[in-house]
Amino acid sequence: MPRLLILGGTTEATRLAAALQNWSQLEVQTSLAGRTQQPVLPAGSVRVGGFGGVAGLVDYLKTEGIDLLIDATHPFAAQISQNAAEAAHIAGLPILSLQRPAWTPQAGDRWISVPDLATAAKQLADLGDRIFLTIGRQELAAFAHLRDRWFLMRMIDPPAEDAPLPLGEILLERGPFSVEHERSLLIRFQIDAIVSKNSGGTAIAAKLKAARELGLPIVMIERPPQPQVEQVTTLAAALQWLKLHC
């Protein structure tokens, strides 16, 4: 029976694993990086932790007898996506990237699109004193030098104890969030501007609408480049690809 490895850690990966539960013609395994302390576990077989770069992943694909690879990792998880593309090429396996579409600005939005965190930090110079950082916990150091700003930093798990942090308050919350929730947060903390990654999807999109309603600017960090592999944006298209390859 063909074996599929899903590189996961996203809603899309979890939905794909759930949809494949009753596929008797395919054995499915999901791999998680292990970043979240209490992850939402996908249905079926799950493994956790890095593979050890491209060589480690190639080794894993061979040892486990994997036939098909779907990269359904987060749009900002660029390293694992690059590794997956290279490892699939070396091992001679078909690979598909399943990634939710990026958000696009709507009428009334005040977005400042930037390519990376360092540029995002520079853009804050003229955007007020109180900033809502919604970029997770791993890269807060990029804003730590801005000692004349106050930051509300939202994440699922707390940052590492030795991580350099900006001044401000940490808010531990896991989405999905409602527009009402986001609006009241922005008002309560007197936020002047938001920094976000262009993650896409619906679970954390309410902040975009709340910002639009309140006329707040969003410094939007755009996605890193993706490797050149076949890409789809929907579960249905991923299932179609699997039918063709099983």
Ligand X SMILES: NC(=O)c1ccc[n+]([C@@H]2O[C@H](COP(=O)([O-])OP(=O)(O)OC[C@H]3O[C@@H](n4cnc5c(N)ncnc54)[C@H](OP(=O)(O)O)[C@@H]3O)[C@@H](O)[C@H]2O)c1
Shortest Cβ contact with ligand X: which residue?
50
Q: Which stretch binds ligand X (CB under 6 A): 8-16, 124-132, 183-191, 237-245?
A: 8-16
The residue from 1, 50, 62, 178 that contacts ligand X (CB under 6 A) is 50
Say which amino acid occupies 236.
Answer: A
Q: Which is nearer to ligand X, 48 or 214 (CB)?
A: 48
Vertex 137 angle, CA 120 and 152, to 5°: 65
d(C-alpha 198, C-alpha 112), whole Å: 11
Interaction residues for ligand X, span 55-94 (CB under 6 A): 56-57, 73-74, 76-80, 83
Interaction residues for ligand X, span 122-141 (CB under 6 A): 136, 138-139
- Least Cα distance to 239 among 26, 9, 84 occurs for 26
Residue 178 found at the interface with ligand X (CB under 6 A): no
Interaction residues for ligand X, span 201-220 (CB under 6 A): none
Say which amino acid occupies 198.
Answer: N
DSSP β-bridge partners for residue 209: none
Say which amino acid occupies 174.
Answer: R
Q: Which two tokens stand for residue 97?
A: 């990237």
Q: Which two tokens stand for residue 100?
A: 């939710």
Q: Which is nearer to ligand X, 192 or 203 (CB)?
A: 203
Q: Which stretch binds ligand X (CB under 6 A): 2-10, 14-22, 93-101, 232-240?
A: 2-10
Residue 35 found at the interface with ligand X (CB under 6 A): yes
Residue position matching structure tokens 């030098």: 145
Q: How far is the CB of 42 from ligand X (least distance, A)?
A: 11
Say which amino acid occupies 14.
Answer: T
Residue 165 found at the interface with ligand X (CB under 6 A): no
Q: How far is CA 6 from the centre of its chain?
A: 15
DSSP β-bridge partners for residue 197: 221
Residues in binding contact with ligand X, number by CB under 6 A: 25
Q: Contact 221/117 with Cβ under 8 angstroms? A: yes
Q: How far is the CB of 59 from ligand X (least distance, A)?
A: 11
Catalog residues that contact ligand X under the rule CB under 6 A: 7-10, 31-33, 35, 50-53, 56-57, 73-74, 76-80, 83, 136, 138-139
